[in-house]
C-alpha cells in the first residue's frame, strides 16, 4: 500500500510540470522570452510596432504613412471632447489620476469595488455616467477619439498593468489567459495559434503579427476600413474570422483578455494611437 | 407498321426514361417532410445552440442557419428547413465538444 502511494506521488510529481500554470509574472517573462528567442534580430522595444517589427517591406510603407498620420484627426477630436466640460461643469480629467493625462499605460486595471477589470474605454463611460451624461456606444467615433487622445498623452510611458493581491483579479487574469490559448470557432483556432505559433508567417498575403506589444498602439486607424478602431473591435474581428460568434465590445470576456494580453506587454511603451493597413 | 400506335408508345417510353428533374418534377424516394418535423428540428437546434452559447463558444454561422430554417418554414419549404436545422444542430454539437476539449487542452499551449 505504501509503495503504491509512493508510486502515485512520483507519477503526480512527474506530471506536474506539464499542467502547472505559472503566475502572471512568470507568464510575462516566458512570453517575452519566447519572442526574443524566436526573432533574435528584433529588439524587445520594437514589438510595440506590431507587424512592422517583423515585416520590413510593410514597415517602409507604414513609416511613410506615419509622416502624415491618419489618426491625427481622432486625436484632435478626442482632445476637444476631453476638454469640454460636462453639464455639471466637471470634466473627464476629474475622473482620472493626473487629470487623465498620461494614464493609458495603467489600463486595464482591476476595480476592487466592481470586482471586475475596467478598461480605459469603460472608465471613460463610467466617468460620463458619474457626471450625468449618457455612455457612448463603444464603436462610436467619440469614444474611440477620446481613447486616442488619452493614448497620445501617454506615449512613451511604460505599460504597467497591475494584478493586485485579490483572488478575483487573478481569476480575471486566468480567464483572459484561458480565452487567449483556447481554440474556438469552426476554424478551430486560438489567438495564440496565429499570434504566437505563426507570428511572422503569412496568412494569405499578409504576415501575422506577434501578440507581444499588441495593446501598445490601440486605438488604430485601419486604412482598409477608413476609420479608427478600438482593441476590442480588433478582438471582435479576429473571433469572427475564426468563424466563432464574437462577443460584444467591453464584454467581460474581452476585458479579461485585454487584462492578460496587456500584462504580457508590461514594460513596453505606449505608442498609440497607431496606423495599420 | 402501325405508326399511330408506335409514336405514342415511343413518346411514353422516352418520358418514363427521362430523369425527374428534366421534367421539372421532384424525385423523392422518401416520405415528404412535414411541418411538424421541420419545426421540431428547429426547436432542437435552438436548444443545442443555447448550450453552445452558454459554453461561450457559439459558432458564427449557426444563427444564420437557424434564421434560414425559420424563413424556409415561413415559405413552407419543410425539407430545406429540416436540412438547415440539422446543420445548425451539428455545428452546435461540435462547438460544445470543442469547448469541453479546450477546457483543459488550452494549458498545453501556454508559453513557458
SS (H, E, C) A23-54: CHHHHHHHHHHHHHHHCCCCCHHHHHHHHHHC
pLDDT tens per residue across span A190-221? 999 999 999 999 998 899 999 999 999 999 99
Query: Is B18 a residue whose pLDDT tops 70?
Result: no
Percentage with pLDDT > 70 across chain A: 92
Which pLDDT belongs to residue B81? 98
The interface predicted TM-score of the complex, written ipTM, equals 0.88
pLDDT tens per residue across span A55-99? 999 999 999 999 999 999 999 999 999 999 999 999 999 999 999
Q: Residue A244's pLDDT band (boundaries 50, 70, 90)?
A: very high
Q: Residue A258's pLDDT band (boundaries 50, 70, 90)?
A: very high
Residue among A99, A101, A125, A102 at smallest CA distance from A114:
A125
- Is the CB of B111 less than 8 angstroms away from the CB of A253? no
Q: Does A248 touch chain B (CB under 8 A)?
A: no
Which pLDDT belongs to residue B30? 72
Please report, for residues A185, B47, B73, the alpha-carbon distance to residue B51 in angstroms, rounded to integers and kept in the order given: 15, 7, 23
Q: Where are the beta strands (DSSP E) in A70-166?
A: 109-111, 116-118
Q: How many Å apart are CA A173 and CA A250, to the nearest integer? A: 15
Report the chain B residue with the minimal C-alpha distance to residue A20.
B107
Q: Which residues in chain B have Cβ-Cβ distances shorter than 8 Å to A27?
A: 110-111
Q: Which residues in chain B have Cβ-Cβ distances shorter than 8 Å to A246?
A: 60
- Is the CB of A240 less than 8 angstroms away from the CB of B60? yes
Report the chain A residue with the minimal C-alpha distance to residue B98.
A184
- Is the CB of A34 less than 8 angstroms away from the CB of B61? no
- Is the CB of A245 less than 8 angstroms away from the CB of B106? no
Mapping DSSP to helix (H, G, I), strand (E, B) and coil, where does residue A218 land? coil
Report the chain A residue with the minimal C-alpha distance to residue B99.
A184
Query: Is B19 a residue whose pLDDT tops 90?
Result: no
Which pLDDT belongs to residue B13? 55
* H-helix or E-strand spanning residue A222: strand A220-222
pLDDT tens per residue across span A1-57? 445 545 444 444 444 444 445 799 999 999 999 999 999 999 999 999 999 999 999
Q: How far is A198 from chain B (nearest CA, A)?
A: 13
What is the Cα A106 distance to its own chain's centre? 12
pLDDT tens per residue across span B54-77? 999 999 999 999 999 999 999 999
Scanning the structure block, which residue is given the C-alpha cell 436548444?
Answer: B47
Which pLDDT belongs to residue A2? 47
Which pLDDT belongs to residue B31? 87
Mean pLDDT of B89-110: 98
Which pLDDT belongs to residue B29? 61
- Is the CB of A190 less than 8 angstroms away from the CB of B53? no
Q: Which residues in chain B have Cβ-Cβ distances shorter than 8 Å to A177?
A: 110
Burial label, A125 (beta-carbon count in 10 A; 0-12, 13-18, 19+): buried
- Is the CB of A183 less than 8 angstroms away from the CB of B106? yes
**CB-based contact A21:A174 (threshold 8 Å):** yes
The chain-wide mean pLDDT, for chain A, equals 93
Q: How many Å apart are CA A149 and CA A168, to the nearest integer? A: 31
Nearest-by-Cβ selection for B61 from A31, A183, A243: A243
Query: Is A133 a residue whose pLDDT tops 90?
Result: yes
Which pLDDT belongs to residue A15? 45
Q: Which residues in chain A have Cβ-Cβ distances shorter than 8 Å to B105?
A: 182-183
pLDDT tens per residue across span B22-56? 444 454 567 899 999 999 999 999 999 999 999 99
pTM, rounded to two decimals: 0.87
Burial label, B32 (beta-carbon count in 10 A; 0-12, 13-18, 19+): exposed
Query: Is B98 a residue whose pLDDT tops 70?
Result: yes
Nearest-by-Cβ selection for B59 from A31, A196, A243: A243
Which pLDDT belongs to residue A19? 42
Which pLDDT belongs to residue A83? 98
| Catalytic (active site) residue A127 | no
Amino acid at each position: 500500500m505504501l509503495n503504491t502511494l509512493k508510486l502515485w506521488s512520483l507519477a503526480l510529481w512527474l506530471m506536474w510540470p506539464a499542467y502547472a500554470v505559472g503566475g502572471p509574472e512568470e507568464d510575462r517573462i516566458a512570453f517575452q522570452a519566447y519572442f526574443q528567442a524566436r526573432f533574435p534580430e528584433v529588439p524587445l522595444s520594437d514589438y510595440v510596432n506590431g507587424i512592422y517589427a517583423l515585416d520590413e517591406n510593410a514597415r517602409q510603407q507604414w513609416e511613410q504613412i506615419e509622416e502624415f498620420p491618419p489618426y491625427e484627426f481622432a486625436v484632435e477630436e478626442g482632445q476637444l471632447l476631453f476638454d469640454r466640460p460636462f453639464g455639471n461643469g466637471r470634466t473627464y480629467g476629474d475622473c482620472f489620476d493626473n487629470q487623465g493625462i498620461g494614464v493609458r499605460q495603467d489600463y486595464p486595471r482591476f476595480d476592487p469595488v466592481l470586482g471586475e477589470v475596467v478598461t480605459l474605454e469603460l472608465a471613460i463611460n463610467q466617468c460620463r455616467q458619474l457626471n450625468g451624461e449618457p455612455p457612448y456606444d463603444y464603436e462610436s467615433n467619440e469614444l474611440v477619439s477620446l481613447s486616442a487622445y488619452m493614448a497620445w498623452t501617454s506615449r512613451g510611458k511604460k505599460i504597467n498593468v497591475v494584478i493586485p493581491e485579490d483572488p478575483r483579479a487573478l481569476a480575471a487574469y486566468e480567464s483572459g489567459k484561458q480565452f487567449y490559448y483556447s481554440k474556438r470557432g469552426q476554424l478551430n483556432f486560438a489567438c495564440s495559434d496565429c499570434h504566437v505559433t505563426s507570428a511572422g508567417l503569412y496568412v494569405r498575403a499578409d504576415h501575422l503579427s506577434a501578440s507581444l506589444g499588441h495593446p501598445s498602439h490601440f486605438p488604430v486607424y485601419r486604412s482598409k476600413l477608413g476609420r479608427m478602431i478600438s482593441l476590442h473591435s480588433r478582438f471582435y474581428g479576429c473571433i469572427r474570422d475564426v468563424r466563432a460568434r464574437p462577443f460584444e465590445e467591453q464584454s467581460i470576456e474581452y476585458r479579461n483578455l485585454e487584462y492578460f494580453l496587456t500584462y504580457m506587454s508590461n514594460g513596453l511603451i505606449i505608442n498609440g494611437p497607431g496606423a495599420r493597413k | 407498321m402501325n405508326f399511330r400506335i408506335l409514336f405514342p408508345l415511343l413518346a411514353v417510353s422516352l418520358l418514363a426514361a427521362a430523369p425527374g428533374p428534366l421534367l421539372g418534377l421532384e424525385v423523392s424516394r422518401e416520405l415528404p417532410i412535414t411541418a411538424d418535423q421541420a419545426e421540431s428540428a428547429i426547436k432542437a437546434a435552438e436548444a443545442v445552440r443555447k448550450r453552445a452559447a452558454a459554453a461561450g463558444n457559439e459558432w458564427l454561422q449557426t444563427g444564420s442557419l437557424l434564421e434560414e430554417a425559420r424563413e424556409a418554414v415561413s415559405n413552407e419549404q419543410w425539407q430545406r428547413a429540416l436540412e438547415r436545422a440539422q446543420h445548425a444542430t451539428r455545428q452546435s454539437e461540435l462547438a460544445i465538444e470543442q469547448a469541453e476539449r479546450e477546457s483543459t487542452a488550452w494549458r498545453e499551449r501556454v508559453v513557458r
